[in-house]
Amino acid sequence: MHDQEEEVVIGSLSVLGAGLAFGLGGIGAALGIGMIGSKTIESMARQPEMAGRLQTTMFIALGMTEAIGLLGFVLAFVLQGVK
């Protein structure tokens, strides 16, 4: 393969990889955040007096789940730099 062709292939594949990293990473985080939200609402409806503590715990779990999705976002930018 010519050098120029190789460059194009690597460049386009890195962009594809970046998209996949962000997209697939986002699916997992989205499912996780959805589950956290739905379960918190369920628990709050069941025991409204626990709402305050549930909310605190929800935000902690939310932060941890979100970090996984954002790792994909950062990885996407790293992969895009590959040329």
Binding site for other proteins (CB under 8 A): 52-53, 56, 59-60, 62-64, 66-67, 70-71, 73-74
32 vs 73 by CB, closer to other proteins: 73
Count the residues in the chain: 83
15 vs 20 by CB, closer to other proteins: 15
Distances (CA, A) of 52 to 11, 41, 55, 67: 49, 12, 5, 23
CB 65 to other proteins: min, Å:
10
35 vs 77 by CB, closer to other proteins: 77
Taking alpha carbons only, the member of 4, 21, 1, 7 closest to residue 82 is 7
CB 49 to other proteins: min, Å:
15
Amino acid at 13: L
